[in-house]
Amino acid sequence: MVPDPESLRATLHRRGPSGFPVYSGRLIDRRFDINDELTNRKEVLRVRRYEGLDGTIHEELAWKGPTTVSPQGYKARPELECRLGGGAPIADLLRALGYLPVHSVDRFVEIYAIDGATVRIEWYPESDTLVEVEGDADAIERAVVATTLVRETFSADGLATFAARYQRRTGRPARLALHFADEHPAHWPR
């Protein structure tokens, strides 16, 4: 959980290569499955749609294998991704193959390149603002220091765990998906 997203943004703006995020906009995730086959194998088939504030749109198709966590607390899983542009939406292709959407997550994100890592601030429709850091172990540690957030607040926990913590703390369920495609919650950056 990010206690002060605006302070984190200002810190990352100062640390980024150009002072600005490399991406800013909506990030729409849809997971697909057929009769829980992938879920039962602890695999994920995901479509990500990036709708940038600059008007750009692109989609990525990803397969992810089972997750492991190292003794040092770093999460890892095999991943294959491809970026696609043009043509029919990837979700239409997956539906034609029999895959159906089984999970939705919508958020506004800012992505920064910091000290060899990717740092992503994530604002959900109704939940805590989170930060995710990806890269090799050394790059992750450098980026965590650059955020000025307390190291012990970072974990390999999944989004479901963060949503459960939000509900315990507030008494309200986290809302991770939008009700309408054009919805833009007031607390999201513009």
Q: Is pLDDT at 59 greater than 70 in this prediction?
A: yes
Mean pLDDT in residue range 96-125 = 95
Query: What is the predicted pLDDT for the residue at 70?
Result: 86
Please, what is the average pLDDT of the chain? 92
Burial of 155 (0-12, 13-18, 19+ CB in 10 A): exposed
**3 state SS for 9-50:** HHHHHHHCCCCCCCEEEEEEEEEEECCCHHHHCCCEEEEEEE
Query: What is the predicted pLDDT for the residue at 22?
Result: 92
Minimum mean pLDDT range among 13-22, 107-116, 174-183: 13-22
Mean pLDDT in residue range 42-54 = 95
Q: Is pLDDT at 114 greater than 80 in this prediction?
A: yes
CATH classification of 5-170, choosing from 2.40.160.40, 3.40.190.10, 2.40.320.10, 2.60.40.420?
Answer: 2.40.320.10
Query: What is the predicted pLDDT for the residue at 19?
Result: 67
Mean pLDDT in residue range 47-61 = 93
For tokens 């939406």, name the residue. 89
Q: Using N-to-C axis directions, what is the helix angle for 137-147 and 5-15, rounded to 10°?
A: 120
